[in-house]
Amino acid sequence: MKIGITCYPTYGGSGVVATELGKELANRGHDVHFISYALPIRLTMKDRVYFHEVEVLTYPLFEYPPYDLVLATKMAEVMTRFDLDILHVHYAIPHSISAYLAKMMLRDRVVPFVTTLHGTDITLVGNDRSYLPITRFGIEQSDAVTAVSEYLRQRTIQEFQILRPILVVPNFVDCNVYGRSSDRTLRRRFAQDDEGILTHISNFRPVKRVEDVIGIFALVRKNRKARLLMVGDGPERPKAEWLANTHGVAQDVLFVGKQNDMSELLAISDVLLLPSELESFGLVALEAMACEVPVIATRVGGVPEVVRDGIDGYLYEVGDVQAMADGCLSVLNNPKVRENLGKAARDRATRHFCASKIVLQYEDLYSRTIEEVRSRH
């Protein structure tokens, strides 16, 4: 198939999923055309992968340059020029609206589009009154819609009063790339042999509750030697740095910034901390699980669909910093517990969330959607 993919190219789960999906589809012999305003972060150019940049003209009249219109124009151009069979957009706003416009712009052919809902497009942005009607319209006009968890599917149906089917296609991880590492050299760059490594990876937005990450670590540090790796960047980073100072643990907290290769850092971690207010899936928890890293997270949104409490890690109420610190300590102080949780987590990741399995579901959805839409025209 000739497949177009649009996503946010910056750091964030939806862009990562879209990029990894495109790479897998290209490996399977499809032509994949990425359409976005920048090269997606994890995208490396290879055979059958193409990138089409959306360049937005600024003009003094435009206080708000109309990205969605330029994107629609580029989508229509790529659809025609490369004879696309289907377009897959990740994150509803504004991508599904641009895809709808592009589809309408074509005169002599129909190119269906699939929308994948990732989370904040529904739970934070989409249900704001100023975006709700247009988000609902984008969902209704899509030729197929998927959500990354059952939680997100249900929430979309309830909040947007959606009657059309929404298919759950969970996020995935490349189980060949993500795995445990016994290489002590990389580990020693961050911690001594008797120090546990706790890792947090996010875009440092308020929903991630980085203040709880630091609070949990400070409690852990009172009880044993440990290091905290803070991976990523975003608006709450200064607050996290300030809190590390005020808790007196700054020397053991390493802010390593945005990284392209999470697999390396996860492969040497002992615990993944994800105390978010909400996660529709929690891709980073899955990536950790594939690396045999137990997950200490909040019982929110789609997280329990990924992490089984007491089996792959432990789940807690939002803000229960003390309980999450106790959970970390029970993992760090008991190597056997850490190992058992880690092995179970890896087993779950490989059985249910491996790229090879999930990509087939998208492939199948594309074929069915193309056939349905063609049979109607």
Report the length, in residues, of the chain. 377
Nearest to 44 by CA among 23, 26, 74: 23
CB closer to ligand GMT out of 10 and 340: 10
CB closer to ligand GMT out of 277 and 309: 277
Task: Give CA 159 to chain center in angstroms.
Answer: 22
Spatial distance between the Cα atoms of 289 and 269, rounded to a whole number of angstroms: 11
CB closer to ligand GMT out of 148 and 329: 148
| Interface residue list for ligand GMT (CB under 6 A) | 12-14, 17, 91, 118-120, 123, 148, 171, 203, 205, 207, 278-283
Smallest separation, CB 205 to ligand GMT (Å): 5
Q: How far is CA 320 from CA 212, 254, 282, 299, in A?
A: 8, 23, 18, 11
CB closer to ligand GMT out of 204 and 366: 204
CB closer to ligand GMT out of 152 and 219: 152
Q: How far is CA 264 from CA 217, 239, 280, in A?
A: 21, 26, 25
CB closer to ligand GMT out of 281 and 370: 281
Smallest separation, CB 277 to ligand GMT (Å): 8
Provide the pairing of β-strand 167-168 with 196-201.
unpaired
Smallest separation, CB 319 to ligand GMT (Å): 16
CB closer to ligand GMT out of 14 and 36: 14
Spatial distance between the Cα atoms of 318 and 320, rounded to a whole number of angstroms: 6
Spatial distance between the Cα atoms of 236 and 23, rounded to a whole number of angstroms: 31
Smallest separation, CB 82 to ligand GMT (Å): 26
Amino acid at 258: K
What is the number of H-type helices and E-type strands within the chain?
A: 15, 13
Spatial distance between the Cα atoms of 264 and 186, rounded to a whole number of angstroms: 8
CB closer to ligand GMT out of 69 and 207: 207
Smallest separation, CB 263 to ligand GMT (Å): 16
Q: How far is CA 233 from CA 90, 115, 203, 239, 328, in A?
A: 22, 27, 5, 12, 23
Provide the pairing of β-strand 226-231 with 196-201.
parallel
Smallest separation, CB 132 to ligand GMT (Å): 17
Peptide bond into 238 cis (omega under 30): no
Provide the pairing of β-strand 144-147 with 167-168.
parallel
